[in-house]
Structure 1
Amino acid sequence: MSQQDSVDALIRDQGVLFSEGMGATIARNTPQELFHWLCGSVLLAARISSDLAVQAAQGLRSKGLHTVDALVAADEATIMRCLGENGYKRYDGVGTDYLKATARLVQDHYNSDLRNMLDDDPDAVLGRLKEAKGLGDTGAGIFAREAQLVWDVFYPRLDGPAIRAAETLSLTTDHGALVSMAGSRERFVRLAAALTRADLGAPSEAVRQTVV
């Protein structure tokens, strides 16, 4: 088996984007979809399983609490109840505070559109993302990992978990080589998600069988 086989198996078996699991369609590159992914990144950055964070972000969307205006207008009890009912009970209070503060930040500083924080400096954009309460380096990296699908400033990007998984699976960590093996920008982003899933949990059996 080759590294190409591993890349193909990762994308095929574990390449669902975390944002997709939440119901956010980043490929649209719209304020609403990007903000929903930012909320998801805030939830994923907490010390809780990724599955529960995804479930909580799904819950926000199902209640219409995934937009800037909706979160700013919602009372804290409503948000807290939504998070608690969707697996985020341990952090529902903190999560509510973070989400409300993040919504106000995006509304006040970026006219409710995250695209207004963009420029050509990835570190500067990451710094602006970290202004969101509770996001920090980890959360900003989570957001960037899938936002690179539409934000050129971050492409191509692999963060810590994906790099660890690549090393474990005897894959190169050279971004150019992985972009080439992935074959497209979307597939590279799915590869980054797949490697992250492999690090957080475990590689699928099909992926393990390809390891050189």
Structure 2
Amino acid sequence: MSVEELLDQYGTTYAEQAGIRLRDKPAPLYQLLVLSTLLSAPIRAETATKAARELFHAGYRTPAHMKDATWQQRVDALGRGGYVRYDETTATRLGDGAELLLTRWSGDLRRIRDNKSRVRAHLQEFPGIGEVGADIFCREAQAVWPELRPCFDKRALDSARQRGLPHNADELAGLVRDDRVAVLAAALIRADLDE
């Protein structure tokens, strides 16, 4: 499969699917953190993105709004998105994560940008964000944080190898414009999940 075919068939980021207009601003970056938390659970990506849209539709687009929502309001929004198996645990994690972001980082994820390796470590301090969640966040955030580029996690690189594409991050990124690296990373993950 060529890069063009891959992008034509699977070239939508998860942030786009969740309705996040990703920019280097506090609210969209927080929404990406929420989405990364939801995608970290062993649940379908479509369910996680739908649940994220429900949370955002309910007004929980910033850490302050997420923290101010009751646990039950968060559970209800997750339930409307079909995120029912992990709704109670995730509702708690989202509230605790919002509190952490507000108290430690003044509600602004841009404060964790000091260097690539520390970004991942800082992300993993948030409840529900482990290595997979940090991979998801960085894979998508590279669209607005160029210092993360190229960011292809092991799963994306394995997907590239299976499709006969370079499985070195720099070579793979060289196949597209800088502003399309995040889209290529998402396309590789989507193609892998589609199988």
Which amino acid in the other structure matches residue 20 of structure 2? A
Q: Name the CA distance, whole Å, in 2 between partners of 1:95 and 1:85.
A: 14
Aligned mate of 1:56, from 51, 54, 70: 51
Residue 164 of structure 2 is aligned to residue 170 of structure 1: yes
TM-score (norm 2): 0.96
Aligned length in residues: 195
Distance 1:61 1:160 in 2: 30
The unaligned stretches of length 5 or more in structure 1 are 203-212
Give 5+ residue unaligned stretches, structure 2.
Answer: none
Q: What letter is aligned with 1:57?
A: A
Written as runs of structure 1 = structure 2, the 5 A alignment for 1:19-30 is 19-26=15-22, 28-30=23-25
8 Å CA contact retained: 2:143, 2:180: no
**TM-score (ref. length: structure 1):** 0.89
CA shift digits 1:29-69 (9 cap, x unpaired) = 11000000100000000010111000000111111112111
State the Cα RMSD in Å.
Answer: 1.1
Larger RCO (CA under 8 A, 6+ residues apart): 1
Q: Is contact 1:11–1:187 with CA below 8 Å preserved after alignment?
A: no
Q: Cα deviations across residues 160-211 of structure 1 (Å, max 9, x unaligned)?
A: 22112111111111222222211x1221111100000011123xxxxxxxxx
Work out the CA distance in 2 between the residues paired with 1:141 and 1:176: 17
- 2:17 and 2:68 map into 1 onto residues whose CA distance is 25
Query: What is the match of residue 194 of structure 2?
Result: 201
Match of 1:157 among 137, 142, 151: 151
Residue 12 (structure 1) aligned with residue 5 (structure 2) = no
For residue 2 of structure 2, what is the amino acid of its counterpart? S
1:66-145 aligned within 5 A: 66-120=61-115, 122-145=116-139
